[in-house]
Amino acid sequence: MKTGPVLGIEGTAWNLSAALFDEDLIKLVSNPYKPIQGGIHPREAAQHHAAVVTSVIEEVLENNPRPVAIAFSQGPGLGPCLRIVGTAARALALSLNVPLIGVNHCVAHVEIGRFASGFDDPIVLYASGANTQVLGYLQGRYRIFGETLDIGIGNAIDKFARSKGLPHPGGPEVERIAQNGTYIPLPYTVKGMDLAFSGLVSAAKDSPESLEDVCYSFQETAFAMCTEVTERALSQTGKDELILVGGVGMNKRLQEMLRLMCGERGAAFSVPIPQYLGDNGAMIAYTGRVMMESGCTIPVEQSRINPSFRADQVNVTWRTEPDNKSTHAEENTARGAEAIVRFSNGSAAKIRTSKQYRHSELDRRLITERTRAEARLIVEARKAGVRTPIIRDISHDTIIMEHITGRKLKEKLNPLLLEEAGRMVGKLHSAQIVHGDLTTCNFMVKDRKIWLIDFGLATTSAELEHRGVDVHVLFQVLESTSPESDVLKEAFIRGYREIMPQANDILEREHEIELRGRYL
């Protein structure tokens, strides 16, 4: 279906931008807000947007075809800024008597990345000021496979940069200074498919080491965290394409890490041209156009902004389900995100492999720490009555254990097995062990019994928060992969309550975590 040019207006935060997009970009004009000092001040940014929005739109439309629809960034973003853009879009749509299209800002980053790369079904790392998310398309929505638990990577860099008196935005200056630094250890926080930057920012602010060394190590640590969770999403979904989008995507070191990771996995990697990476009107116009082609327009009265609009709330009507890709490994070898497992004579040797993208010192530390911790927690879980592989030997990077044959739970989802999984996790949590990666790929099913495997991110904790996150990760995987997720979750809860004395408190915390909108 041919639609004609769509005008898109972006203004979620710092950049007021508009573009006209037909089969390709016709014109893009941006007028960013530049704070005198510090970070973005929402009211000042909104005042800037109000002052320039008319002139930016007029410049885009001058001597160009009349738009057949108006698209605007409906959220997520800063409320005062979104209201300026929403008001301008409604007024223009009414005056031109054309349809109005509300676009999710995060989805627009994904779609312009797909357009620029030509990739059909990629995993997407969205790294910007306020957002750090790993997304992929599944069953009619863009699912968030992992994200930051606190602040976005760009805001983390800016906070650190401001503490050192560096100009805003801090990313380019930190990248420049890092070129002359050497590695020092800083906190590395990955929790399953998610990550957190607050501890890293605090440690970097307080470090007595040289600015060059801290900038270098900040980048090495933060970007390795982003790359690790992205690789885990590629491994879990079986997809073989990766796109980097968002303003932080301009960082050459982050691009290099992702390129190395994809090279090791045999996956294709792409980064859009700079004008499509940061917040821009082109991505709103293009996404509005593909949405209009599938009938996604809205009445003016339904065009309210949504500062908390998540990508996984959008019905993606313009895409079809991709062909299922085979994820079967060689008969005697399986590959995950961080390890290779070799099977022989009833044993499985889990070998943590070195990652080219990580600094060698950081890489060695993570491999040794995770191997030792995993072995210890497998033993402790087994003592608590959880079916786990029996460990036969261990070295600094390898655990040799019993080979559990069978099928992954994701291939045999049914209420009886989820109820048994609930009892198993109840035993685990009663022993104050948090698995850290409770996906349906890490439960093995054999003879109607379940084993729990891959304790690579497990920890000991009695906190409601940590156990609530554990359960929430499993629930979100079920929602992302099964149309019967409600029935399966209820079955899990029955089994979990049967074993875990604090089940109600933990499940209440899981619901609170869901309402925060910060997890998978």
Asked whether residue 1 carries a pLDDT value surpassing 60, the answer given is no
pLDDT at 165: 92
Q: Which helix (H) or strand (E) holds 443?
A: strand 443-446
pLDDT digits (tens, 9 = 90+) for 283-296: 999 999 999 999 88
Sign of CA dihedral 173, 176, 178, 180: negative
Ordered domains of the chain (ranges, CATH): 6-105+277-313 (3.30.420.40), 112-274 (3.30.420.40), 333-402 (3.30.200.20), 407-516 (1.10.510.10)
Residues 190, 367, 434, 423, Cα dihedral to 10°: 120
Q: Is 288 annotated as a binding residue?
A: no
Residue 267 to residue 244: CA distance in whole angstroms: 13
Pairing between β-strand 132-138 and β-strand 123-127 as defined by DSSP bridges? antiparallel
Please determine, for residue 330, whether its predicted confidence score (pLDDT) is greater than 70: no
What's residue 38's pLDDT? 65
Residue 2: pLDDT band (50, 70, 90) is low
Render pLDDT for 88-104 as a digit per residue (tens, 0 to 9): 999 999 999 999 999 99
Tens of pLDDT, residues 128-151: 988 899 999 987 889 888 889 899
On whether 315 is known to bind a ligand per the annotation, the reply is no
Q: Residue 388 pLDDT more than 50?
A: yes
129 is in an annotated binding site: yes
pLDDT higher at 298 or 172: 172
Query: Is 350 annotated as ligand-binding?
Result: yes
**What percent of the chain clears pLDDT 70, i.e. is strictly above it?**
96
Cα→Cα distances 247→128, 214, 255, Å: 5, 22, 12
Residue 351 CB neighbour total at 10 angstroms: 15
Q: Is the pLDDT of residue 327 over 90?
A: no
d(Cα 198, Cα 191) in Å, to the nearest integer? 13
**Higher pLDDT pick, 176 / 337:** 176
- One-letter amino acid of 225: M
Q: Is 213 annotated as a binding residue?
A: no
pLDDT tens by residue, 189-240: 987 778 999 999 999 999 999 999 999 999 999 999 999 999 989 988 889 9
Residue 33, annotated as binding a ligand: no
127 is in an annotated binding site: yes
Q: Which residues contact 473 (CB under 8 A, 6 or more apart)?
A: 192, 193, 194, 437, 438, 439, 519, 520
> Residue 304: pLDDT above 80?
yes
- Is 437 catalytic? The answer is yes
Of the listed ranges 112-126, 178-192, 229-243, 332-346, the one predicted with least confidence: 332-346
Name the active-site residue from 22, 194, 312, 437: 437
Using alpha carbons only, what angle is made at residue 311 by residues 150 and 511, rounded to the nearest 5 degrees? 55
pLDDT beyond 50 at 326: no
Q: Which of 274, 187, 193, 205 is nearest to 231 (CA)?
A: 193
Q: How confident is the model at residue 186 (pLDDT cuts 50, 70, 90)?
A: very high
